[in-house]
Structure 1
Amino acid sequence: MTSTDRDSGGPSRLRERGASVAVAMAGMNVATYLFTALAARLLGPQAYGAMASLLAVLLVVTMIQLGIQATAARRISAEPEHVAQIEREILSLTYWCAGAVGVLLLVLAPLLDRLLRLDSVATAALVGLTAVPLTIVGGQLGVLQGERRWWPVSVVYLASGVPRLLVGTALILWRPDEFMAMLGVLIGTIVPALFGWYALRIKRPAREHVEHHSRRTLIREILGNSQTLLAFMCLMNCDVIVARNILPEHDAGLYAGGLILTKAMLFLPQFVVVVAFPAMSTAEERRGALMRGLTLVLGLGVAGVLASAVLPQLALIFVGGDEYAEIDSRLWLFAVLGTALSLLQLLIYAVLARQGTKSVYLVWAALAAVLAIGSQADSIGTLLLTVVTIDSLLFLGLLVISLHRLRSPVSDEELPPEAVM
């Protein structure tokens, strides 16, 4: 890929490309949300609570997928002359990681079964099987994104949501239990991996080999990116696991249902990250891009919170129906939690854009606080208020640090890419 290929069309053309990917991601998120909402309605609180806890484990596993994707995209975009070597090394490393993660989770299936009170090792094993294609998609998307191949990127994103909705819903209608729901997730994850394989089926010979893109340096950068994303993923999903262990099964299922609205509020402004991330990667545009992004995310969040407070019965339809009516008065607070997480997500990607290394410690501290304080909760309301408070305090702390770091063109927190850990 030449510089002409990368830059043709000027700024307006680049905005169009960003918009097409954002639309595809929106389609993926809508399909994923619809599948989750339908599953909640069809399965009921108890079975859906089990499914939600498994999806939370799977989301934490995606730290590897996202770490590989970020590393591949950054390196190929920065040095397109070495795309062949980077692609070969990234895909080889991706397949190795996918196999290792899958085997590890299969071995841990009995532990997951006991921890999540599933009474089905086979259901827990589906998490390990799903992790394999999920990780592979991360490497494929990273290569395609770095090469600016926006059409295949968009197709893979859409394929990550639509097949799950169609196949997963059909399986749940056939037999409404958590095993069939997770089987639908597994099949829906294989489809985008097949699209990614097809888009990358033609290999190109490497012109030269440079040590900077060796497997060792790639692993080092992936670990750095994954550490930051792991902290956020754990924070984003740990409360449903806490609820599963401290609340009665019915209440844990109600809490999981409320989190459907939280996830909707989180994913709704995800396109902002897609559009703002390139600008946040440049020293001159970082501060302005971050502030504009936060303003837009906050505006969407306030609108969602107000809608949930004024029209709780309408919001309840999206959560799962009358079976979840016990939490209708708290839905606005679930929307507040989703807004806090969406703001945190933008700040986390701002840290990745400038290759920061220290701010992530605050995220780990917030995770520890949720686990320690949240485990003492004795009701849905107490747990929800605890998580909202901790996440909001984390957002304020990261915002202050980010604004301080961005006062100068280059943050003193930044390190060379290969030194980020």
Structure 2
Amino acid sequence: MTAPAPRPPQEGAAPTRSAAAGAVPAALVSGSLLLVSALAYVVTVLAARALAPQAYGELAALLGVLLVGSVPATGLQTAAALHLGRRPHAQTATVLARLHAAALAASLAVGLVALAAVPLVVSVLRLPGPAGALWLAAALVPQTLVGGYDGILQGTGRHGRLAAVLVSFGVLRWAGAVSGLLVGGTPAAALAGMAAGCAAGALVSWLGCGRPGVSRGLRGPARSALRASGALLGLVLLVNLDLLLARHHLPAAEAGEYAVGAVFAKVAYWLPQGVGVVVLPRLADAASRRRALPAALAVVTGVGVLLVLGTAVLGAAALPLVGGAAYGTHLGGWTWVFAASGTLLALAQLLLYNGIAAADRVAAVAVWGTVLLETGVVGALAATGGLSVLTVAVSAAGAATLLVTAGLLRLRRAPEPDAPTAAEVAGAAVSGAPVAVPAPPAHPPR
């Protein structure tokens, strides 16, 4: 199926109307991602109530491995969206079929690696047997494949279908996990149900993507996905690093309070995710990248400022509002630091996407360097007795600030194209529609 190229705005159309219309797909995608995240949270709560503590710890550990194993899917999605963004007038059925073939090859490779890693996972996590790890490997195959479908929909600007695919896959995956949990009552049964749900979700996603065929001859996206995965793995680790460090260094009660505070960071991080999804294909070309990125950063910043202000106004009541009266002893009215940290991480993600699109290897180095820096700072505070819930939160926010600052400095060093109007910037960044930008180069930078 040939994806329709995005339509340019009509001459004389009001810029404000274009920007307002462009906000709809971003909000739609963000809403779908938040819904899927909420489903994941509900499933973990159900599992905690249905399983004994030892079994729940096993499932939680395996889900953590699943999170890391999902990075290639995100890398594949990013690479496919950027590939189509560089070629907006060549989104033919053949190109989509070749992208589909690359996604199939990548998912098979991820499955084989996960299968080979089963003995290591069993040993490191001290699992009672290999069943859970085997079902985890089975779930990663369709999940990686769906990353390719998401990238095709993202790169061709079909954001309504993308939102539908995201929700349908999330519902089927977590419904399968709950079914397995209720029927089998073990972590392995839950992951078996998840694998079945992921397989069904992959079929639905293929249909929603337009049933692309398979064609040989396109290896670039697979290599690009591999390069992007290294940077994205660092970001995934950075987003979750403070929770791991708090769990490792703080007393159990304080670590629990930190986990509740981190909910605000996750909300601030996930709420504007649709902006990055919509703007990513426009980052493929240097000229449109410089036009789209500032407005996207401004939108994410605006959402974050509202969340930070709202959390600051709530003050000491913010944490008990989420976790109950037992929480808030150590943080007081400083919960807004978590919202600020999540906002900074959302900005860092946009800048990382920009670095991946520009083939800037420094972006990945900066992310991994920040991971090491935050780990070292928190470890030093723990060694000197200066560690608390607040200092861990401030350390996480400081690390994210450094990463954003580094990204902005790299952005300023890039060559400037002709500056568009402010209305053009806002409309292009949010809607993804072409707005008087130069044609993509014949040979995009590698």
Pairwise TM-score range, normalised by the shorter structure: 0.7 to 0.9
**Is residue 339 of structure 1 aligned with residue 343 of structure 2?**
yes
CA distance in 1 between partners of 2:135 and 2:105 (Å)? 19
- Equivalent-residue separation in structure 2 for 1:324 and 1:50 (angstroms): 26
Q: Which runs of 5+ in 1 are unaligned?
A: none
Pick one of 354, 357, 361 that aligns with 1:350: 354
Change (3 A) 1:21 1:287: closer
Amino acid at match of 1:340: L
Instruction: Tell me if structure 2 keeps the 8 A contact 1:32–1:164.
Output: no
Q: Which amino acid aligns with 2:362?
A: K
Partner of 1:214, secondary structure, is coil
Contact 1:28–1:159 (Cα < 8 Å) also in 2: no
Aligned counterpart in structure 2 of residue 83 of structure 1, from 78, 83, 92: 92
User: Aligned pair 1:266/2:269, yes or no?
Assistant: yes
Query: Percent identity at matched positions?
Result: 28
- 2:74 is aligned with 1:66: yes
Whether the 8 Å CA contact 1:43–1:177 is kept in 2: the answer is: no
Q: Do the aligned partners of 2:377 and 2:395 also contact (CA within 8 Å) in 1?
A: yes
Task: Give, in angstroms, the shift of residue 248 of structure 1.
Answer: 5.7
1:400 aligns with 2:409: yes
Q: CA deviation at 1:127?
A: 3.7
Check conservation: 1:62, 1:134, Cα contact below 8 A. Answer: yes
Answer with 1 or 2: which has the greater Rg. Answer: 2
Match of 1:277 among 277, 280, 299: 280
Matched-pair contact (CA < 8 Å) for 1:60–1:237: no
Q: TM-score, normalised by structure 1?
A: 0.77
Determine the structure 2 residue equivalent to 1:36: 41
Distance 1:174 1:327 in 2: 41
Identify which of 159, 166, 175 aligns with 2:168: 159
| Helix, strand or coil at the partner of 2:362 | coil
CA contact (8 A) 1:29 1:161 kept: no
Tell me the alpha carbon deviations over residues 28-52 of structure 1, each in whole angstroms, 9 at most, x when there is no partner.
3234135416735873897877666
Moved more, 27-36 or 49-58: 49-58
Relative to total residues, which structure has the larger helix share, 1 or 2? 1
Deviations, residues 379-406 of structure 1 (Å, cap 9, x unaligned)? 5524333222222111112112212325
- In 2, distance between residues paired with 1:398 and 1:231? 15
What are the superposed Cα offsets for residues 117-140 of structure 1, whole Å, 9 maximum, x if unpaired? 777754455543332221010112
1:295 counterpart residue number: 298
Contact in 1 for aligned 2:25/2:274 (Cα 8 Å): no
Cα distance change of structure 1 residues 143 and 31 upon mapping to structure 2, 3 Å threshold = closer
**C-alpha separation between the residues in 2 aligned to 1:324 and 1:181?**
31
> Which residue type is aligned with residue 99 of structure 2?
I
The answer (yes or no) to whether the contact 2:58–2:127 under 8 Å persists in 1 is yes
Tell me which of 131, 134, 148 is aligned to 1:139: 148
- Partner secondary structure for residue 10 of structure 1: coil
Say which of 19, 41, 44 aligns to 2:24.
19
Whether contact under 8 Å (1:315, 1:331) holds in the other structure is: yes
Aligned to 2:224: 221
Aligned to 2:428: none
Q: Is the 8 A contact 1:109 1:121 kept in 2?
A: yes
Judging changes above 3 Å, is the alpha-carbon distance between structure 1 residues 15 and 8 closer, same or farther for their aligned structure 2 residues? farther
How far is 1:342 from its partner? 0.9
Q: In the aligned structure 1, how far is the partner of 2:313 from the partner of 2:5? A: 47
Tell me, in whole angstroms, the C-alpha distance in 1 between the residues paired with 2:167 and 2:91: 29
SS of the equivalent of 2:5 reads helix
Q: Would the aligned equivalents of 1:22 and 1:274 in 2 still touch at CA under 8 Å?
A: no
| Counterpart Cα distance in 2 of 1:80 and 1:101 | 31
Compared CA separation, residues 343 and 406, structure 1 to 2 (3 A): farther
In the other structure, the counterpart of 2:396 is 387
Contact map agreement 1:33 1:260 (CA 8 A) in 2: no
Quote the Cα distance in structure 2 between the aligned partners of 1:127 and 1:74.
29
Task: Give distance in 2, aligned partners of 1:82 and 1:375.
Answer: 49
2:372 corresponds to = 368
Query: Match of 1:108?
Result: 117
Counterparts of 1:137-216 in structure 2 under 5 Å? 137-164=146-173, 186=195, 189-199=198-208, 202=211, 213-215=217-219
C-alpha separation between the residues in 2 aligned to 1:348 and 1:30? 24
Contact (CA 8 Å) 1:308, 1:315: kept in 2 or not? no
Distance 1:240 1:304 in 2: 20
CA–CA separation in structure 2 for the residues paired with 1:176 and 1:383? 36
Per-residue deviation, 1:224? 2.6
Q: CA deviation at 1:273?
A: 1.6
CA-CA distance at 1:263 after TM superposition: 1.6
Q: Are the aligned partners of 2:103 and 2:144 in contact in 1 as well (CA < 8 Å)?
A: yes
Change beyond 3 A, Cα 1:298–1:199: closer
CA distance in 1: counterparts of 2:306 and 2:20, whole angstroms: 26
Query: Which amino acid in structure 1 is aligned with residue 68 of structure 2?
Result: V
